[in-house]
Structures are given as structure tokens and as C-alpha cells.
Amino acid sequence: MSLFRLPLSPRVYLAYQALGSVWVNAAINYGLIWPARDQPSFAVFGWWGSVAFDTCLTSVLLTFFTVLSGSFFVRLDLKRKFASRSRWSSAAPPWFQSLAASIALRALAFTLVFGPLGALVGLAVLTAYPSTTGFHEFAVFKVTFACLLGLVVTPLNAACVIAVPSFGTAQR
């Protein structure tokens, strides 16, 4: 017996996607930083190896790969009848339907918007940090940053996928 009746409504499904993104992004980003746990300190600002560089890279790559992989899993959930399409899919403006129909276009658009925006927010937060930080502080910042960015990008991407008929492809 399921806690929710299947298929999930679009609103419940987007909440499910957001919660899932927190767990996935926390695990991935903590796993990425774990090999550096023995490093005594990290420069907050600088080039390769700094927290700021990692933040900018995370912002761009997380957004891009969230759209690519997330779209696959949302379409799979729709195919398995785990989620249902939104009711407003036919009322969406044509530009939105074009963006929603193309995974490549959506990945590029999301990366161009949320990559720099996430990086700017992350860098603004880092200005409150001292010039160097330890592993624990870096890990907490990295995981929190990735989870918050995922909370924005993942449900928006899922909303695009469930808004377009034919599992994310444009109708002809």
C-alpha cells in the first residue's frame, strides 16, 4: 500500500523531486569532496582548488547534469505512471513548450541562467568566510550550496518535462 495514490499529482511529484534532489546532491557532493579530507586548509578565493572555483564549477555542472539526468528520470516516472502530466500543458506559451520539449535547449538555457546566478550567490556568501577554511567548513558549504541549487533547478526541470506531451518531445 502506498502513502500516496499513484500516479502522483504534478504538485506532489514536484515536491518529491525536490526532496530527492537534496539527498542525491548531498551524497554526490560530499563524495566529491571526501578525497580532500586530509588537506589542512582550502583557500576560499583563488583559482584551481579554491572554494570559489569549486562553487562556480558546481553551479554550472550541477545545473547542466541535473537537467540531463533529471529529464530522463521524470520521463521514466511518467512512463511507469508514477507521475501524471500537468493540466496546464496545453495552455503553456509556445516559447515554454519549445524549451520544455528540447532537453538540449533546456539544459543550455538552465545552465546559462542558473549557472552564473548560483555562482554569484555562492560567491557572495563566501565573502563572509576568512581567507582559508578547513575541510569541515568547506564540506558543509559545498553540500548546502549544491542542495539549495538542486532545490531550485530540479523541480523547475521536472515541471518542464511534465508540461509537454509525449514524454518530453514536441508534438508534430
Residue 38: DSSP 8-state: T
Burial of 121 (0-12, 13-18, 19+ CB in 10 A): middle
Q: 99 falls in which pLDDT band (50, 70, 90)?
A: confident
- Look at the pTM and tell me if it is higher than 0.75: yes
Task: Please report which confidence band the pLDDT of residue 113 belongs to, taking 50, 70 and 90 as the band edges.
Answer: very high
120 has a pLDDT exceeding 50: yes
Say whether pLDDT at 170 is over 50: no
CA distance 115 to 133: 24
| Mean model confidence pLDDT for the chain | 88
For the cut 70, the answer to whether the pLDDT of residue 153 exceeds it is: yes
- Dist CA 107 CA 71 (whole Å): 10
Mean pLDDT of 26-34: 95
Task: Say what the alpha-carbon torsion angle 144, 111, 81, 7 is, to the nearest 10 degrees.
Answer: 50
Task: State mean pLDDT over 140-146.
Answer: 96
Q: How confident is the model at residue 172 (pLDDT cuts 50, 70, 90)?
A: very low
Report whether the peptide linkage leading into residue 116 is cis, meaning its omega lies within 30 degrees of zero.
Answer: no
Residue written as grid cell 578565493: 45
**Residue 124 confidence (pLDDT) above 90:** yes
DSSP secondary structure code for residue 43 in this structure: E
What are 156's three cell numbers? 523547475
Would the pLDDT of 101 be above 90? no
